[in-house]
Structures are given as structure tokens and as C-alpha cells.
Copies of this chain bind each other. A is one copy, B any other.
């Protein structure tokens, strides 16, 4: 087991990573809570697998639980799901001192985190992510939110958890497609600013795909450490934190265009990263071999690197609707090299067109 610390002054918190942690969850949770009952938000897929185990662990410390089970899927990351949590908390007379635990993937964590941020102006919140994507990305850093018909994560808050508890055993039940989607974000950390980790991934990708526990803990630890470092430097994404969005401005447009829920977030990020790489190549920063090398790693992780034919103008429109637009000017996270990302303003629509079509089937 490994423990990292996200240093955010009085909002600092630990990230525990290891296997077998779920059945011992009470050891870390009991010292944090203020009331004898917690609320646990999960979904229809994760609850049958892990809710009992979490509740049994909590019972060992005499902690009761109010389970709140959401339907599964990005298409349910809505105002309605968020309100359903508030309804359940109020119906059960939960209080300001209640701690809310998110048990599930990124969607559960984002909705539950936003509910915790807004229930009676904010209650304590613990993340127990059960997908690789959530373990290496969304559970760390305090971004919470829900989707709006006009765009992803348009409504939300920065709200830090009190703790993140990552049990790598949970990945055993994760569908292969979702493990791959999580690997897209893991690869992203290598690309952003850790060439050494990128090379490690090239050498250990097969072990990760095979579910090797030591490899998973190392990759998750590296990913969380990178994220924690960047978030600590820029909690509210005014600068450096934008680097974490490599592939995301393109990716969000793909998710919106092809329908939330049809593409996994990580899949969209993989293609989006290839689009960012294409734009970086057009600027002369990456060469063909670099792009090939990135594509090869994504492909080995069973991730898409191209999209089917689509309306380029509409995609650009989605990108302009993305919340990372500053003063009408679209900003892109580009790669100056493998392991060195930087934010640059997009030059013009032609640049976006070129990047999009470079990764589009005829």
C-alpha cells in the first residue's frame, strides 16, 4: 500500500492506493466522520459488487449507511440524478455533519461530489473509485459536476474530498473496454510531462492489461502523483492544471457529437490526444515517428485513434462551446514533445479542421 498527499493547505487530503483496502475501509473512514451514519452513493452495476463489502467494513466500526443507488452511465450524469441524491439525503434527515461516500466510477464520483458540494452548502465527501479512469483521474483533484444538454460538466464545483481510497482489486471486475479507457488517461500523464513513465508504459502495457497488481499499483501511483502535483500548483485550473486536459477539448467535442454514453470518456480522450498530436505535428513540434509511437501505445491498449466520418464544422462548434474557451479564443493543449505538453491558443479554424480530419476515416 502506498499513500500520497494532495497538498492544498487546509483542504489537503490523503490518497491511499493498494489492494484489499475496501474490506478495511473503516480503518480510514471511522476517524473522519462526525455522525454515526454515512451516505453511500453508488450505481446499479457497482453496488451489487462492492456495496455489501463496504457496508460490512463500516459496521465493524459501528457506522451505519444510507445507500443511494443511481442508474448507470454517462447519460445519467444529469440534474435529475444530482437532485435524486439531495432528495434521498433530505428524506433520511441527513445533516450538515453527514459524510457522503462515492463508490463507483467517474460518473458516480462527479455527481456525488457535486451533491456533497451543494447539500446544505457542503458536506464531507470521500471518494472510493472503482474504475481505473476514476482511480487515476476523476477521484483526485476536486472537480465535480454534471452535464447539461449544451455540454459536458457545464454545471459543477471545485470541491475537494477528505480522502481518496483506491483499491486496485476493484479493477478485477472492470470490463476490458473500461480498463482500456482508463489507460488513455494513464498514458496522458506520460505524454504531459513524464517521458520516463511513458517509456515504462511502453514496456509494461501488457502487464497492465493482464491485471498485474504490482504494475497497476505503480501506474496508478505515478498517475495520481502527477495529478496531485499539478492540482496542488493550480487548484482551480487557471494555469498549469489545463495541461491535464490534453486531448479533452477535442475529446469532449467527440463525446458531444457522437452522444454521451456511446463513447467512453477515455476513448474520446485517446482520439482527442491523437488530434492534439496531429496539430502539434502541423506546427512542427512532433514528427511522424512521435505520432506513430503515441498511436501505437493507444492501439496496444485497445483504444481508438481515429473517428468515423463526421461533420467537421459541427465538431468545431462543439469545441467552441467547451468551457476552456477564454475570451472567445480557443486554447489547445499541444505536445511540444513526448513528455512535454503546453497550452497554446488555436490559430484558426483551419488548424482545427486539419487536426480533426487527420484522425478521421474517409
Contacts and interface: CB of A to CB of B under 8 A. Distances in A.
Interface of A: 34-35, 79, 83, 86-87, 90-91, 93, 95-97, 114, 117-122, 143-145, 148, 150-151, 153-158, 236-237, 320-321, 323-328
A79 B120 CA distance: 14
A150 to B, nearest CB: 4
Contacts of A96: 323-326
A155 B325 CA distance: 28
Contacts of A35: 327-328
Give the interface SS of chain A, mostly helix, strand, loop or mixed: mixed
Contacts of A158: 121-122
Given A118-B157, A157-B121, A79 B90 contact: no
Given A79-B79, A83-B79, A90-B148, A323 B143 contact: no
Copies in the complex: 2
A324 B117 CA distance: 17
A321 B182 CA distance: 41
B326 A121 contact: no
Given A90-B148, A95-B326, A154 B119 contact: yes
Highest count of chain B CB atoms <10 Å: which of A145, A150, A158, A236:
A150
A95 B328 contact: yes
Contacts of A323: 95-96, 120
20 contacts: A34-B327, A86-B148, A86-B154, A87-B148, A90-B154, A91-B150, A93-B320, A93-B321, A95-B326, A95-B327, A96-B323, A97-B326, A97-B327, A118-B157, A119-B154, A119-B155, A120-B155, A120-B323, A121-B144, A157-B157
Nearest to A119: B155
Given A34-B327, A83-B79, A327-B34, A121 B93 contact: no
A170 to B, nearest CB: 27
